[in-house]
Structure 1
Amino acid sequence: MASVMEDPALERHFKGHKDAVTCADFSPNGKQLASGSLDRSLMLWSLAPEACRAFRYVGHGDVVTGVQFSPSGHLVATSSKDRTVRLWTPSMRGESTVFRAHTAAVRSVSFSPDGRRLVTASDDKSVKVWSVGRRRFVFSLSQHTNWVRCARFSPDGRLIASCGDDGTVRLWDTTSKHCVNCFSHSGGPATFVSFTSSGSCIASSGADGSVKIWDLRTNQLLQHYTVRCAGINSFSFHPSNDFLVGGSSDGAVQLLDLLEGRLLYTLHGHQGSVNSVVFSRAGDLFASGGADCQVLMWRTNLDTRSYRDVLQQHGRRSAPDPPPHLTDIHPRGPHLHRPQPAVIQVSPTVADTQSADPHVVELGQPVHGATVSGMLRNPSVMLRNRKNPSLTICDEL
């Protein structure tokens, strides 16, 4: 476990993707890391120090855009530009179920907290909800006027937040199917959206390099960070809700302290855009995936009881902005955060030597876009892949 006086440190790297990494997620038990890529594959990496193998799951006919473990860890969902969603069983057999989810590229996929439903976002301007057990379409949400980049369930499953290229962040009631609120992420497209674990706030990132946090109890903008000149592609809340990690197109990873209201660390490890960042469920690790085909795993110093010691230690290098902050229930107005010139820059100077590149085991069968389209032309059918009988393809739109 990291000392409270240490900066975040690069712990391991994972090399095996043949093209840029687009998405990543930790398993609920913290034993595996999943990543998707422009190379059309899903990869599962073991986090055990002695692990010598990684698994590549092949099946999508185009770029993998989103990945997430189910709450139980028994399934992994992936979305793709091939317009489909796949549900994988993370095992040696490489089994997956696939259904055509949208009429255009699917940009994100996410499980509900109980694992019974999926929410997907697409370039067809819609958000859709699916039954996991029955693999069936449940309902659609359609008020966005441009591509929808991301959609997520609230921690209690009663709300859905979505964002897209129309510059809006929309909040949906899953019971009434109505849009109950709409926030403007001014400055261009909104790239990513997520709830805090308490469900009281949502955040969105933008192509303008900003991160905005809204309090759903007051429907007001609570915090506004402008942390980079390049776009923020992804972010993740620490389980404590006190911190947020973001990845930007200029190759940097940013760690924000939401209680103190400041950009705390800027981490440099990738060569090229950082497309995905995610905290582990325990919050002691976070992973970043980039255009350099790598997944980097970082050990944080946020898993200790007294992180205020770190703030005092670094007081001379990073000065906090004035309130209001995330803990304020009734902020008087937006809190605009500008980059601090003395923010701590962390750049790994020694190559990671703790883990060798693992042997990659290929699983599944590649399915080209034309083949998928042909198979799914007839609704409500179940087909078996002739080359791999364990690969089930279904379409129940």
Structure 2
Amino acid sequence: MASAPEDPVLERYFKGHKAAITSVDFSPNGKQLATASWDTFLMLWSCRPQARAFRYVGHKDVVTSVQFSPVGNLLASASRDRTVRLWIPDKRGKSSEFKAHTAPVRSVDFSADGQFLATASEDKSIKVWNMYRQRFLYSLYRHTHWVRCAKFSPDGRLIVSCSEDKTIKIWDTTSKQCVSNFSDSVGFANFVDFNPNGTCIASAGSDHTVKIWDIRLNKLLQHYQVHSGGVNCLSFHPSGHYVITASSDGTLKILDLLEGRLIYTLQGHTGPVFTVSFSKGGEQFSSGGADAQVLLWRTNFDELNYKNFTKRNLKRLHFDSPPHLFDIYPRTPHNHEEKTETVEVSTLCIFVLLFASVHFGATGQLDA
């Protein structure tokens, strides 16, 4: 008989960067984790105990974003040095550089088929690149301030972007036109992404909010005010039913989108949390922040339900029927005052993890 789901737990602790972590991404097979940092380096960690880590040197300024290609044979990184680099994720870490923009590059994102790469920059543009030929294809210009993030939809037909001009724009990759525009009077979105079935987008706001929009109805579905600091990043669970958020208030929070409520608050970092990402299967997630720590968590709470979600989504895909609004609308009214689970990781726990890593090689060794 299946055991009940449990709280998320902190599994591992990776120490090697010398400054704040800006971006984390799991390899498609979940065996490796790539991280980017203000220290100008990328690091590639093995999720296996006692395996060594590799430091990739090449960027000349802060690395702002890192992502594995869908098959895992490439790593793309963006930097404040205005370049994008493509790395071979092995022990040598060879890379090719292309001068991508005329200002710092804030994000990189592969299309699901691996053919294209979208880059977002402080030069107010989004650029799309052909990965097979490693050449520039086209630019998207409509933002009037720095573009912080750009992401492909799961089917590659759309790109969503967010900017300090306080707008979120959706672009058609065929016509190269902006087809939707969501604007905000208060703050701007630091990060945006599509949900796994591509019907909604979520934004992480500088005004402490998380918003879920339905892009078919151009309608705000959910609005969470659960953080006391800017929300820097978010990640959808592969089921599409949960979102995890990272905030400058020092916490990670897990939202249940079906119930429309906060279900977990995780405190493992000292200082702002800048990045978070679920693994491709959803069993784990990783976070990084101003404390230069990379934390690896086991999800746990999804064990009972995830197989059912997958079965239902597969069934729907086979019949090509439209997703049900039930998939995203809350079943219950929002009530953020209710008691929520808080999973606190004390400094004693961190000390124990550190002790274990020193004695049992839980953190990877640094490449000399």
Q: Would you call these one fold, judging by a TM-score over 0.5?
A: yes
String of CA shifts for 1:9-63, please: whole Å, max 9, x gaps.
Answer: 1000100001000000000011000000000000000001232x11000000100
2:343 partner letter: V
Q: Report the CA distance shift for 1:360/1:232 in structure 2 as closer, same or farther (over 3 A).
A: same
**3-state SS, counterpart of residue 53 of structure 2:** strand
Higher-Rg member (1/2): 1
1:357 to 344, 363, 366: 363
| Alpha carbons 2:28, 2:71 under 8 Å: kept | yes
Matches within 5 A, 1:331-370: 337=334, 339-349=336-346, 350-351=349-350, 352=353, 354-355=356-357, 356-362=362-368
Q: Following TM superposition, by how much is the alpha carbon of 1:260 offset from its aligned partner in structure 2, in angstroms?
A: 0.5
| Alpha carbons 2:191, 2:203 under 8 Å: kept | yes
| Alpha carbons 2:5, 2:301 under 8 Å: kept | no
Q: Distance in 2 between matches of 1:257 and 1:354?
A: 33
Paired position in structure 2 for 1:34: 34
2:27 partner letter: S
Q: Distance in 2 between matches of 1:290 and 1:35?
A: 11
Paired position in structure 1 for 2:145: 146
Q: Report the CA distance shift for 1:84/1:119 in structure 2 as closer, same or farther (over 3 A).
A: same
1:359 partner letter: Q
Q: CA RMSD in A?
A: 2.0
**Structure 2 unaligned spans of 5+:** 307-323
Q: Distance in 2 between matches of 1:329 and 1:60?
A: 41
String of CA shifts for 1:216-252, please: whole Å, max 9, x gaps.
Answer: 2211111111111200000000000010000000110
* Structure-2-length-normalised TM-score: 0.88
**Structure 1 unaligned spans of 5+:** 308-325, 363-397
Q: Following TM superposition, by how much is the alpha carbon of 1:354 offset from its aligned partner in structure 2, in angstroms?
A: 5.0
Deviates more, 1:335-344 or 1:105-114: 335-344
2:113 partner letter: D
Paired position in structure 2 for 1:156: 155
1:38 partner letter: W
Q: Distance in 2 between matches of 1:168 and 1:108?
A: 17
Q: Distance in 2 between matches of 1:341 and 1:218?
A: 30
Paired position in structure 2 for 1:314: none
Residue 109 (structure 1) aligned with residue 126 (structure 2): no
Q: Following TM superposition, by how much is the alpha carbon of 1:330 offset from its aligned partner in structure 2, in angstroms?
A: 10
Number of residue-to-residue matches in the alignment: 340
2:49 partner letter: P
1:207 partner letter: S
| Alpha carbons 1:202, 1:215 under 8 Å: kept | yes
| Alpha carbons 2:257, 2:328 under 8 Å: kept | no
| Alpha carbons 2:130, 2:137 under 8 Å: kept | yes
Identity of aligned residues (%): 58
2:276 partner letter: V
Deviates more, 1:221-230 or 1:237-246: 221-230
Residue 275 (structure 1) aligned with residue 274 (structure 2): yes
Paired position in structure 2 for 1:320: none
Q: Distance in 2 between matches of 1:139 and 1:95?
A: 26
Q: Distance in 1 between matches of 2:87 and 2:333?
A: 42
Matches within 5 A, 1:195-274: 195-274=194-273
| Alpha carbons 1:11, 1:354 under 8 Å: kept | no
Q: Following TM superposition, by how much is the alpha carbon of 1:112 offset from its aligned partner in structure 2, in angstroms?
A: 0.7
1:188 partner letter: G
Matches within 5 A, 1:1-397: 4-51=4-51, 53-306=52-305, 327-328=325-326, 337=334, 339-349=336-346, 350-351=349-350, 352=353, 354-355=356-357, 356-362=362-368
- The structure with the greater share of residues assigned to helix is 2
1:294 partner letter: Q
**3-state SS, counterpart of residue 73 of structure 2:** coil
Q: Following TM superposition, by how much is the alpha carbon of 1:342 offset from its aligned partner in structure 2, in angstroms?
A: 1.4
String of CA shifts for 1:91-131, please: whole Å, max 9, x gaps.
Answer: 12221010010000000001011101100000000000011
Q: Report the CA distance shift for 1:239/1:46 in structure 2 as closer, same or farther (over 3 A).
A: same
Q: Report the CA distance shift for 1:128/1:262 in structure 2 as closer, same or farther (over 3 A).
A: same
Q: Following TM superposition, by how much is the alpha carbon of 1:303 offset from its aligned partner in structure 2, in angstroms?
A: 3.1
Q: Distance in 1 between matches of 2:3 and 2:164?
A: 41
Q: Report the CA distance shift for 1:267/1:3 in structure 2 as closer, same or farther (over 3 A).
A: farther
Q: Distance in 1 between matches of 2:328 and 2:88?
A: 45
* Structure-1-length-normalised TM-score: 0.82
Q: Following TM superposition, by how much is the alpha carbon of 1:134 offset from its aligned partner in structure 2, in angstroms?
A: 1.2
Q: Distance in 2 between matches of 1:114 and 1:5?
A: 33
String of CA shifts for 1:55-91, please: whole Å, max 9, x gaps.
Answer: 0000001000000000010000000000000000011
**3-state SS, counterpart of residue 361 of structure 1:** coil
Q: Distance in 1 between matches of 2:188 and 2:234?
A: 15
Paired position in structure 2 for 1:387: none
Q: Distance in 1 between matches of 2:300 and 2:168?
A: 31
2:125 partner letter: S
